[in-house]
Amino acid sequence: MTQHIFVTIVTPTAVAANNRGEGDGSTLSTLQKITRGNDQYTTVSADAIRWGYREYLQNSQPDKVNRTFDSEADKYHIKDEKYNAKTYIDDDLFGFMDAKKDKDNKNATTKRRGALEVSRAISLDPYWGDITFGSKGGEKGKTSIHNTEVHCTAYQYTLALTPSSLQDPERAKLLLDAIPAIQHVGGNHARFLYEFRPESIAIRITNDPSPWIMNCFERVGDVIGCSRLVRLVDVEDVPASELIVAGEIADTPYGEQLKGLEVKVCRGVKNAIAEAKKLLSSKKVKA
């Protein structure tokens, strides 16, 4: 059967702001929001997260990526405009589409669906409308006032990848390496740094085509819990042998419960990544 990788990540709690990119010209820099139940939660787009992974690959594998970003020129560069998933990691993982017509005005679009699927990140805490105020003084006509929506929270998102859908299945390990190392996710100014590395992580390597572990973390008081994940393992909807759970969650009662259910629990996220790569290597990927 086909092997799949599912990873749910929860970030550290920090102050998030202005993760939408360029502003709309108003004096208020807003956060994207979604309503769930009676509360609003802030959200970060999957595109912004994908950019973080692209940036990691550009820095770590510069000769093996097709699309690179020059921050000084604020411009993208593409080595091969015909794209090539066999040669380039980013064309393989993220896909591409070049919509165009040929000389006879017929469809000549070149495209590939991205093998890597990324969910939108959702805050673990409701947004209560916090706004910061800033101003710039100076000569008349050159002053400015600006407001920024801010949210002290952690974000949760999920990755999904089927290694056999890649031109080179070994590239799945590069994705795992990128998870604790991505640097920038969205934002349009250096003062809005937010750390998107995992504080806690759940990795599932399975033949099941459905993740089951999406949104498995939740806020419990001042810490992060995973009661839904414990239940999924307890009722055997998710086999313990398919899971690796790591990070600060390991030092909580939830981590102890998962250990009792024979789940592989690591205190270190990077150790969990190494274990997942070993598990991938020990199982033959079928197309």
What's residue 21's pLDDT? Answer: 46
Mean pLDDT of 193-220: 96
CA distance 287 to 284: 10
Strand partners, 148: 29, 132
pLDDT band at 237 (very low <50, low <70, confident <90, very high): very high
Q: What share of the chain is helix, strand, coil (3-state, %, to 5)?
A: 25, 30, 40
Q: Provide the 10 A C-beta neighbour count for residue 221.
A: 6
How high does pLDDT run on average in the chain? 89
In a domain, 207, yes or no: yes
Angle at 46 between CA 45 and CA 48, to 5 degrees: 70
Q: Which residues contact 40 (CB under 8 A, 6 or more apart)?
A: 33, 34, 126, 127
For 77, the domain range is: 4-135+146-282
Position with higher pLDDT, 21 vs 145: 145
Position with higher pLDDT, 83 vs 274: 274
In a domain, 44, yes or no: yes
pLDDT band at 69 (very low <50, low <70, confident <90, very high): confident
CA distance 126 to 132: 17
| End-to-end CA, the chain | 8
Mean pLDDT of 230-234: 98
For the cut 60, the answer to whether the pLDDT of residue 286 exceeds it is no
What's residue 105's pLDDT? Answer: 67
For the cut 70, the answer to whether the pLDDT of residue 25 exceeds it is no
Range with lowest mean pLDDT among 4-18, 88-102, 171-185: 88-102
In a domain, 128, yes or no: yes
Beta strand 144-153 with 14-17 is antiparallel
In a domain, 174, yes or no: yes
In a domain, 158, yes or no: yes
What's residue 157's pLDDT? Answer: 98
What's residue 189's pLDDT? Answer: 62
In a domain, 141, yes or no: no
Tally of domains within the chain: 1
Task: Render pLDDT for 125-180 as a digit per residue (tens, 0 to 9).
Answer: 999 999 888 777 767 666 677 788 899 999 999 999 999 999 999 999 999 999 99
pLDDT band at 287 (very low <50, low <70, confident <90, very high): very low
Region at 266 (left for phi over 0; alpha for psi -120 to 50; beta for the rest)? beta
Q: Which residues contact 249 (CB under 8 A, 6 or more apart)?
A: 200, 217, 224, 225, 226, 255
What's residue 252's pLDDT? Answer: 97
Which tokens in the block code for residue 150?
């801010």
In a domain, 267, yes or no: yes
In a domain, 199, yes or no: yes
